Amino acid sequence: MTDVLREALGRAAEKLGAPDVEFVLERSKDTGHGDMATNLAMVLARVQKTSPRAVAAKILESLELPPGLVDKTAIAGPGFINFWLATDELAASLRAIIGAGDRYGAHDYGSGIRVNVEFVSVNPTGPLHVGHGRGGALGDAIASLLEWSGHQVTREFYLNDAGVQIDRLAQSLWARVQEAVGRSAEIPEGGYHGEYLRGDAARLLEREGRAFADLPEEEGVRRCRVLAVQAQRETQDQDLASFGVRFDLISSEQAIYDRGAIGKTLALLHARGLTFERDGALWLRTTDFGDDQDRVLRKSDGTYTYFLPDIAYHVDKHDRGFDRAIDVWGADHHGYIPRVRAAMRALGYPDEFFHVSIVQLVKVLRGGEEVKMSKRSGEFITLRDLIDETGPDAARYFFLMRRADSPLNFDLDLATTQSDENPVFYVQMAHARMSGIFRVAEIDPDTVSADVQLDALPAPEDRELLKKLTAFPEITARAARELEPHRLTGYLEELARLTHGWYHKCRVLGEPPAVERARLALARATRIVLANGLTLLGLTAPDRI
């Protein structure tokens, strides 16, 4: 309906001699301002140097609207034009919601666009902590939003299974193995002190036999390299699975080395004349592409920096045919963005190809006090601990309810509260209440007819709730375009508030038949939108709580 109105306004602007003017058509924030509002007159007035209200009057004169769309128009404030939508138009929206069902809010504008969303991508050196949980929730939600707008999405995890940190992990595990058979052993400098390696060592000995500990150190450590990574990956996968996050592909850094992608990437950059040698090292001239200093690709000792395999990995994403590569990174990596972007430009990729969403830190609060985390000592709140305490729904919701680039306070007490103060509970409760109506009536909601007389909805709350439902597709589109799932949690809370208010004020069952039928349809539509929003974010939509 907004499209029809927008086109009509565009044609009116054309008649007034401004064919390509950009204007805003939005939902009115205030019910006194009708259902829709546009600033078209004010924008035109600026160009034509006349009074906005006078222009608004001219627009309304030349505006040709199809019948049955708008009941009433008004010029208001500094020159806004407000529209009151006809009841028939709202009735059509109700039918559209019910007709689309679990696809209501989906779009197809992303059709044919292939997107790679890479997230979590934590080193396989220990369990996931809460920060990874936020990245996981965000990446998964971004991926889902893009799918809902028609994109073809691959969820990918980049596994840093090469490099010096894996050596230290292997040495640390070997030390725990020695310890487990009663020998004294030291965790190496920069190694991993966490308790989890003790458990891994015990399981390893059980599986491989006690003789494993008697291997020569070199061989023992070598085998620990593989076994340690495997053990951490298993734990991480279990944690992610119970969090409802699943990947289409795990990409290994080691594999990038093994298949010679490093050399190819180097050759690619060299062929473009963008590398140079200085002080025995090989550099990439990233300053030509917006970075504030050039970066080393190959150190003077002959080994590669992390930067080079990372470029190779993104080349690989590009070669696999993705139109966009979206990376979800922790805030501590944001300084790394300019050099990777520079590398992408150096390779001639369009700027839209590479995007990074930064996730800020999570502060966990209990009883109003911060729960301190220290990775160095090996004591930190793991994602597992968090899920065990709050359940996956609350954890996911809390991670998503703030903008990713602002720090998050995760209030454990609030997340586990079964009351309206808890936003997850509040939204799920709204869904459960809608389901409750059908349960009591002993009606299958999917059989409720959408073909109802909207005049039979007597309360303003009926109309307000329905209008809110019709905003859902705009919210999913905006959230997908901006890669901002928090827009959806915010919308769901607003919708839940209206739903609870409507439920309280407007009875459904036992009303006159026409009213009951209309409200059953409205309850069905509300249930659909709440369920779609929750499902999209990876949460359950319970029928009872």
Q: Are 307 and 339 in contact (CB under 8 A)?
A: yes
For residue 118, the surrounding DSSP H or E stretch is: strand 114-118
Among 487, 517, 524, 527, binds RNA (CB under 7 A): 487
SS3 content of the chain, % helix, strand, coil (to 5): 55, 15, 30
Among 151, 317, 324, 402, binds RNA (CB under 7 A): 402
Q: Is 109 in the site for RNA (CB under 7 A)?
A: no
Q: Are 495 and 97 in contact (CB under 8 A)?
A: no
Nearer to RNA, 105 or 309 (CB): 309
Nearer to RNA, 424 or 454 (CB): 424
Euclidean distance between CA atoms 5 and 10, whole angstroms? 9
Please give the structure tokens belonging to residue 50.
């006349």
Please give the structure tokens belonging to residue 243.
């969090």
**Stretch near RNA under the rule CB under 7 A, chosen from 87-95, 258-266, 302-310, 369-377:** 302-310
Q: Is 72 in the site for RNA (CB under 7 A)?
A: no
Query: Least distance to RNA from the beta carbon of 535, Å?
Result: 18
Contact mark string toward RNA, 414..433, x via CB under 7 A: ----xxxx-x-xx--x--xx
Nearer to RNA, 214 or 332 (CB): 332
Nearest residue to 170 (alpha-carbon basis) of 192, 189, 202, 185: 192
**Stretch near RNA under the rule CB under 7 A, chosen from 63-71, 130-138, 162-170, 320-328:** 162-170
Nearer to RNA, 82 or 476 (CB): 82
Euclidean distance between CA atoms 118 and 253, whole angstroms? 14
As beta bridge partners, residue 327 has 118, 356
**Stretch near RNA under the rule CB under 7 A, chosen from 2-10, 89-97, 303-311, 346-354:** 303-311
Q: Is 50 in the site for RNA (CB under 7 A)?
A: no
Task: Give the footprint of RNA on residues 21-40 (CB under 7 A).
Answer: 28-30, 32-33, 37, 39
What number of chain residues touch RNA (CB under 7 A)? 85
Among 406, 442, 444, 447, binds RNA (CB under 7 A): 406
Q: Are 81 and 38 in contact (CB under 8 A)?
A: yes
Alpha carbon 30 to chain centroid distance? 29
How wide is the angle at C-alpha 88 spanned by C-alphas 86 and 90, nearest 5°? 80
Q: Is 380 in the site for RNA (CB under 7 A)?
A: no
* Rg for the chain, CA atoms, rounded: 29
Among 42, 204, 256, 312, binds RNA (CB under 7 A): 42
Q: Is 443 in the site for RNA (CB under 7 A)?
A: no
> Residue 485 region, left (φ>0) first, then alpha (ψ -120 to 50), else beta?
alpha
φ, ψ of residue 411 to 5 degrees: the values are -90, 105
Distances (CA, A) of 44 to 27, 62, 63, 78: 20, 14, 15, 13
Among 57, 60, 113, 281, binds RNA (CB under 7 A): 281
Query: Least distance to RNA from the beta carbon of 202, Å?
Result: 27
Q: Is 276 in the site for RNA (CB under 7 A)?
A: no
Q: Are 143 and 255 in contact (CB under 8 A)?
A: no
Contact mark string toward RNA, 141..160, x via CB under 7 A: -------------------x
Distances (CA, A) of 6 to 34, 98, 220: 16, 25, 70
Nearer to RNA, 132 or 180 (CB): 132
**Stretch near RNA under the rule CB under 7 A, chosen from 171-179, 198-206, 377-385, 403-411:** 403-411
Per-residue HEC secondary structure of 399-459 comes to HHCCCCCCCEEEEHHHHCCCCCCCHHHHHHHHHHHHHHHHHHHCCCHHHCCCCCCHHHCCC
Euclidean distance between CA atoms 457 and 461, whole angstroms? 9
Q: Are 99 and 450 in contact (CB under 8 A)?
A: yes
Nearer to RNA, 77 or 348 (CB): 77
Among 403, 471, 514, 540, binds RNA (CB under 7 A): 403
Task: Give the footprint of RNA on residues 199-228 (CB under 7 A).
Answer: none
Among 86, 508, 522, 537, binds RNA (CB under 7 A): 508
Q: In the block, which residue shows the tokens 């592409």? A: 289
Task: Give the footprint of RNA on residues 123-142 (CB under 7 A).
Answer: 123
Q: Is 163 in the site for RNA (CB under 7 A)?
A: yes
Rounded to the nearest 10 degrees, what angle do helices 472-482 and 460-470 cross at?
Answer: 30
**Stretch near RNA under the rule CB under 7 A, chosen from 56-64, 72-80, 223-231, 233-241:** 72-80
**Stretch near RNA under the rule CB under 7 A, chosen from 145-153, 224-232, 265-273, 500-508:** 500-508
Nearest residue to 120 (alpha-carbon basis) of 228, 241, 230: 241
Query: Least distance to RNA from the beta carbon of 212, Å?
Result: 27
**Stretch near RNA under the rule CB under 7 A, chosen from 208-216, 242-250, 265-273, 413-421:** 413-421
Parallel/antiparallel/unpaired status of strands 281-284 and 295-298: antiparallel
Query: Least distance to RNA from the beta carbon of 254, Å?
Result: 11
Task: Give the footprint of RNA on residues 309-368 (CB under 7 A).
Answer: 331-336, 338, 360-361
Nearer to RNA, 242 or 254 (CB): 254
Euclidean distance between CA atoms 403 and 531, whole angstroms? 22
Nearer to RNA, 483 or 528 (CB): 483
Q: Is 306 in the site for RNA (CB under 7 A)?
A: yes
Q: Is 506 in the site for RNA (CB under 7 A)?
A: yes
Among 484, 488, 534, 536, binds RNA (CB under 7 A): 484
Nearer to RNA, 116 or 360 (CB): 360
